[in-house]
Amino acid sequence: MGKHYVVLSFFKANKINYYFDSNRMTIVFPCPYCWEQTKMNAITSEWTCNNCNQIGNLLTLIQVNKEDPIKTKVAVYNPKKERLQINYLFDKMLDLQNNTNSKSTLLKLKNKVNDLIEYYENSV
Ligand SMILES: [Zn+2]
């Protein structure tokens, strides 16, 4: 079992919002000191906050969270959810098109956006 499962279960158990990027093996979560979005190395559990310059690992997180629980409502950008929402909006717009040309242009745009996202996902 990878160490990242231990980290992820900490976030789950404490109901802290996070996003796990399995391609980059990083976890995005709210910094325990300033609650700004921070990135953690999922393998080493080490993180550095670009906002307040605090550093730590899972143990630091557990300790700080005990004294001053991380807000559970801090929003974390989730690219997978964003992509679903973008495609949902595209489909909604496609349904609204009465003109065949604009419908095919919109469909092309939707496919190009998704191709671009896949290109960046695979270029890790
Ligand atoms: Zn911070």
40 and 8 housed in the same domain: yes
Residue range of the domain that includes 30:
3-67
Any domain includes 74: no
Does residue 61 share a domain with residue 24? yes
* Domain-embedded: residue 37: yes
CA 54 – ligand 1 centroid, Å: 6
84 shares a domain with 59: no
B/e letters for 1-27, b = 16+ CB within 10 Å, e = fewer, are eeebeebbebbeeeebbbbbbeeeebb
pLDDT at 124 over 80: no
| pTM higher than the cut 0.85 | no
According to DSSP, the β-strands at 47-48 and 55-56 are antiparallel
| Residues near ligand 1 ion, CB 5 Å cutoff | 31, 33-34, 49, 51-52
Are 63 and 85 contained in the same domain? no
pLDDT in tens, 49-59: 999 999 999 99
